[in-house]
Structure 1
Amino acid sequence: MRGGTVAVVGGSIAGCALASAAARAGADEVVVLERTHGRLADRGLGLCVHDGRAAELAATGALPEGIAAHRLTRRRWVVRDDPAGASGRLFWEQPFPFHSYHWGLLWRGLREATPASVVYRQGAVVSGVTDTGERAEVRLAGGTTERYDLVAGADGYRSVVREAVCPGSRPTYAGYVCWRGNFDARRLDALGDGDWPADTVTTVCFTGGSCVVYRIPGPDGPRVNWVLYALPPQAGRLPFDDPMSFPPGRVTEELTAHLGALLDREFPPYWAKLLGLTEPADTFVQPIYDLETARTTAGRLLLAGDAATVVRPHNTSGAAKALQDATAFEEAWRRSGTWAELLHAYQAARGAAGREMVALARRLGRGQVEQTPAWATMNHREVQSWWQALLGGAADIGGQAMAP
C-alpha cells in the first residue's frame, strides 16, 4: 500500500519510531504531534534492551546505529549479611545479555533518524480523536480539527487516543512505587570499597522489595542508574493517582525519610552509600501501574508503546516493545492493500504480545515486591526454581522475539 496521511500523537520513543516506520513504508504525509515545548532529550534515566531484541530491531531499521549503549553481561543478586560484608552476600548470579541506554540519548538517536519528510510539531496538544469511518479526526487544544487517513497513539500512560480505542480503559495502581535516580559514575571513587564490575547489574533484595543498579551511558560520560521497588509509607495520604506524581526535585520529605530508613535497615552498607550519592534533583518517585487493553486498533486508530499496554518496569521491555510495535506497523503496512488490512494485521501481531508482557511483569512484581521469598535462606537451586516460576514459560525478561 502506498500513500495516505498519518498523524502520530506523541513524539517520544514510540512516536519517533512509528513516524519513521510510516515514512519508510510509503505514507505521503506523516505528522508528529508532541505536546511538550521543551527538549525531550532532557529526560535522563536509564533503560535496557535485550541483545536479542536489539539485533532484530537493528535489522529492521527500527533501532538506528550509533546510539550510545553500555554492555551488560550478568546479574548478581545480593542480600544484607550482618555483621560482615559491606557489599552484602551474593546468593545468585545469572546471565544478563542486555545493553543499557540513557533515555534522552536513545530518543535523540531516534529523532535524528526520523526521515526529513516527517513534520515534527512541538506544543501541539491533542484534546481528543474520533474515528469517522473513512478517516480519523484530531482535535487540538486550540480548537482546530485536523483529518488524517490514520491516527497512531504513542501518547503514553494517559493516552488520549486510547480513550477513543478503548473507552474507560485506565492504568491501575499496583500498590507499590519505585524510587529512581542516577548520578555521575565518577562519584563511585568516593566509596573506595565494594566489587562491582562494569558489565554487572546488581539486584539488592530485602523483605518487601528489591533494587536494581547498573551503569548507563550519559551525555557527559558514564552514569549509575538505580530503580528501587518497595511499598510507600503507610502514614498519611500520598497522591498516587498519577504515574509521575513526584518528579525529580519534588520528592516529599516523607518519601525521602522513608527511603533513608529503608536503606539503613535493609541494604548492605556499600549499596546504601551508593544510592546516597544521588542528588535530590536526580531522584524521583514513580507509582507503579499496569494496563492491558482489549484491542490496539479501532477504525482508523492505532495504539503503540505505553498507550497500548502499560507494563511494570520489572520486565525491562518498555523501549524494545515500543520499537517492536513500530516494526510490526511497518511490516503490516507493506503487506497490506487497504487500511483495514493494515490495522487487522497490526492487531494480530501485537495484541496478544502486549497482554503477555503485562502478565509476566505482574508475576515479576509479585515475586520481587509484593510476595518476596526468604532470599537469605535460598540456595542456588531454589532461586532458579523461583525464577522459572515467575517467568511462567517465557524464555527471559526483556520482551519476546517477534514472529517471522
Structure 2
Amino acid sequence: MGGSIAGCAFASAAARAGADEVVVLERTRGRLADRGLGLCIHDERAAELAATGALPGGIATHRLTRRRWVVREAGEPAGRVFWEQPFPFHSYHWGLLWQGLRQATPAAVAYRQGAVVTGVSGAGGRAEVRLAAGTAESFDLVVGADGYRSVVREAVCPESRPTYAGYVCWRGNFDARRLESLGDGGWPPESVTTVCFAGGSCVVYRIPGPDGPRVNWVLYATPPQAGRLPYDDPTSFPPGRVTEELTAHLGTLLDREFPPYWAGVIGLTEAEDTFVQPIYDLESARTTAGRLLLAGDAATVVRPHNTSGAAKALQDATAFEDAWRRAGTWDALLHAYRTARGAAGREMVALARRLGRGQVEQTPAWATMNHREAETWWQGQLGGATGIGGQPMTP
C-alpha cells in the first residue's frame, strides 16, 4: 500500500526476492513525480543502498560537502559564519528520485493508481484489503508503505499515532537561476547553509531539477497562535493552501531574524512553490502484526533534522529483501524484519527529537558561539550517535 519511495522500493525488493505476484496500490491518480521537494542521502548510505540494488543508478543528484552555520550580524549582508562542518551528502529532487525508483520497478509488478484503501486486516494466515470502490482483495502479505497517516498502521497498532512536536516547517524551492538577481552571496554550490536565530533555523541547499538546478529550503519555527490550527491531527498545508497567517509569519521571520542576503534568497520563492508542514514524531509500538508489515513513515515518523527519511525507507526495503531470502516461512520473514528495523527506527526518532530541541525548541546563544563551542553543542545533540543521515545497516 502506497506507491511513492517506500512503496516502489518494497515492490522491487519483493520481486527481486522471488515473489510470484506483487501489487502496488497508490491512492493518487496524478503524477507523483511533480512533487518538487528536496532531500539528501548520506554518501555512505547511498553506497550501501546502491550495492544492494535498493538505490538505482542514473538518478540526478547534486554533491554537497560542507555545512555552514550563520547568524545575522550588522554590516554582513550574508551574515557571519560561526561554524563550518563536513557534510558528505548528495541532494535529490523528490520527484526525480521517485521517478528513478518507479522506472526500476520490475515490469511484472502491477502498479495501480487511484486505488483508495479504506481498511486492512491480517489475521488467519492471509491479509485482506478493503477498497473504497466496495471490493476486497486477499494477499499473503500487505506492506504498509502508506506514510504518516497510514491505514495499515491503524490495523497493526491503532494506539500509535503521530504526535505534534510543537513547531512547523515552511518549505519551498525555486529555479537556481533566480539567484543571479541577488548577486554573489558567497555561497559555494557544494555548501549547505543553516541560518540560525532564537527559536528556529533554516537549511538552504541546491538540488537537481527537471529543468536544471534548483534551490531548496526548509525553515523551522513555532507558528503563530498554534491553537487555532489543526496540528493535533496529522496534516499539512500544500502549495496554494498556506494560510495568510502562516504566510505573514514567514515574512516576519525573514525581516526580523535573517541576514539580508538569505532573506532575499527565500523571498525568490513563488507562493505556488511554498507550503507548510507541521512536524510530528511517531514510534510504532509494533512493525508487524499477522500478515501486515509497516515500512518507511508508516512505521516511524522522524523529524527532518536527521536527514534520514529516504535512506530509512530504502534500508527498510533492503532488510525486507534480505529477510525474504533467508526465511523459509512468512512468520520467519516478519520476525527477521522486526528484529532488523525496530531498534533502528526508535533510535532515529530519539536523535531527531534531540536535534529538534537544539535547533528549534531550546536554541542556544548562536550569535556568541565560536567554532569550538558550536562543535561541543553539536556533539551534545548527537548524544553519542556518530552523525546524522541514518545508521549503517548491519551486514
TM superposition score normalised by structure 2: 0.99
Q: Do residues 346 (structure 1) and 318 (structure 2) align?
A: no
User: Which region of structure 1 is more displaced relative to structure 2, 46-55 or 239-248?
Assistant: 239-248
Equivalent-residue separation in structure 1 for 2:146 and 2:210 (angstroms): 25
Q: Do residues 335 (structure 1) and 333 (structure 2) align?
A: no
* Secondary structure of the structure 1 residue equivalent to 2:390: coil
Q: Which residue of 2 aligns with 1:134?
A: 125
Equivalent-residue separation in structure 2 for 1:200 and 1:245 (angstroms): 29
User: How many Å apart are 1:236 and its aligned residue?
Assistant: 6.9
* Secondary structure of the structure 1 residue equivalent to 2:237: coil
Which of these residues, 286, 306, 310, is aligned with residue 297 of structure 2? Answer: 306
Q: Which residue of 2 aligns with 1:393?
A: 384
Q: Do residues 185 (structure 1) and 176 (structure 2) align?
A: yes
User: How many Å apart are 1:241 and its aligned residue?
Assistant: 3.7
Q: Do residues 280 (structure 1) and 271 (structure 2) align?
A: yes
Q: Which residue of 2 aligns with 1:4?
A: none
Q: How does 1:240-251 map to 2 (within 5 A)?
A: 240-251=231-242
Q: Aligned letter for 2:81?
A: L
Q: Which residue of 1 aligns with 2:315?
A: 324
* Secondary structure of the structure 1 residue equivalent to 2:77: coil
Q: Aligned letter for 2:120?
A: V
Equivalent-residue separation in structure 2 for 1:268 and 1:44 (angstroms): 26
Q: Do residues 292 (structure 1) and 274 (structure 2) align?
A: no
User: Which region of structure 1 is more displaced relative to structure 2, 126-135 or 229-238?
Assistant: 229-238
Equivalent-residue separation in structure 2 for 1:295 and 1:243 (angstroms): 20
Contact 1:248 1:281 in 2 (8 A): yes
Q: Per-residue displacement from partner, 1:131-181 (whole Å, max 9, x unpaired)?
A: 122111111111111111100000001100001111231100000000000
- Name structure 2 gaps, 5 residues minimum: none
Q: Per-residue displacement from partner, 1:351-399 (whole Å, max 9, x unpaired)?
A: 0000000000000000000000000111211111110111111111000
Which of these residues, 76, 80, 94, is aligned with residue 72 of structure 2? Answer: 80
Q: Per-residue displacement from partner, 1:277-330 (whole Å, max 9, x unpaired)?
A: 000000001100110012211111100000000000000000000000000000
Contact 2:8 2:102 in 1 (8 A): yes
Which of these residues, 364, 375, 386, is aligned with residue 384 of structure 1? Answer: 375
Contact 2:163 2:232 in 1 (8 A): no
Q: Which residue of 1 aligns with 2:20?
A: 28
Contact 2:64 2:192 in 1 (8 A): yes
Q: How does 1:231-242 map to 2 (within 5 A)?
A: 231-234=222-225, 237-242=228-233
Contact 1:77 1:92 in 2 (8 A): yes
Count of residues paired in the alignment: 395
- Name structure 1 gaps, 5 residues minimum: 1-8
Q: Which residue of 1 aligns with 2:10?
A: 18
Relative to structure 1, is the Cα distance of residues 347 and 240 closer, same or farther in structure 2, using a 3 angstrom cutoff? same
Q: Which residue of 2 aligns with 1:57?
A: 49
Equivalent-residue separation in structure 2 for 1:191 and 1:250 (angstroms): 28
* Secondary structure of the structure 1 residue equivalent to 2:240: coil
Q: Aligned letter for 1:301?
A: L
Q: Which residue of 2 aligns with 1:121?
A: 112
Flag as ranges the 4+ runs of structure 1 deviating above 3 A. 241-244
Equivalent-residue separation in structure 2 for 1:245 and 1:329 (angstroms): 30
User: How many Å apart are 1:242 and its aligned residue?
Assistant: 4.6
Q: Aligned letter for 2:165?
A: A
User: How many Å apart are 1:240 and its aligned residue?
Assistant: 2.0
Contact 1:239 1:245 in 2 (8 A): no
Q: Do residues 89 (structure 1) and 90 (structure 2) align?
A: no
User: How many Å apart are 1:193 and its aligned residue?
Assistant: 3.1
* Secondary structure of the structure 1 residue equivalent to 2:76: coil
Q: Which residue of 1 aligns with 2:97?
A: 106
Q: Aligned letter for 1:259?
A: L
Equivalent-residue separation in structure 1 for 2:241 and 2:151 (angstroms): 26
Relative to structure 1, is the Cα distance of residues 217 and 88 closer, same or farther in structure 2, using a 3 angstrom cutoff? same
Equivalent-residue separation in structure 1 for 2:226 and 2:131 (angstroms): 41
Equivalent-residue separation in structure 1 for 2:358 and 2:28 (angstroms): 37
Equivalent-residue separation in structure 2 for 1:134 and 1:170 (angstroms): 26
Q: Which residue of 1 aligns with 2:153?
A: 162
Which of these residues, 203, 206, 217, is aligned with residue 212 of structure 1? Answer: 203
Equivalent-residue separation in structure 1 for 2:236 and 2:376 (angstroms): 36
Equivalent-residue separation in structure 1 for 2:237 and 2:14 (angstroms): 35
Q: Aligned letter for 1:239?
A: P
User: How many Å apart are 1:49 and its aligned residue?
Assistant: 0.2
Equivalent-residue separation in structure 2 for 1:236 and 1:338 (angstroms): 49
Q: Do residues 254 (structure 1) and 260 (structure 2) align?
A: no
Contact 2:34 2:95 in 1 (8 A): yes
Equivalent-residue separation in structure 1 for 2:224 and 2:239 (angstroms): 19
Q: Which residue of 2 aligns with 1:6?
A: none
Report the RMSD for the aligned CA atoms in angstroms.
0.9
Contact 1:193 1:270 in 2 (8 A): no
User: How many Å apart are 1:245 and its aligned residue?
Assistant: 2.8
* Secondary structure of the structure 1 residue equivalent to 2:152: helix
Contact 1:45 1:103 in 2 (8 A): yes
TM superposition score normalised by structure 1: 0.97
User: How many Å apart are 1:216 and its aligned residue?
Assistant: 0.1
Q: Aligned letter for 1:350?
A: R
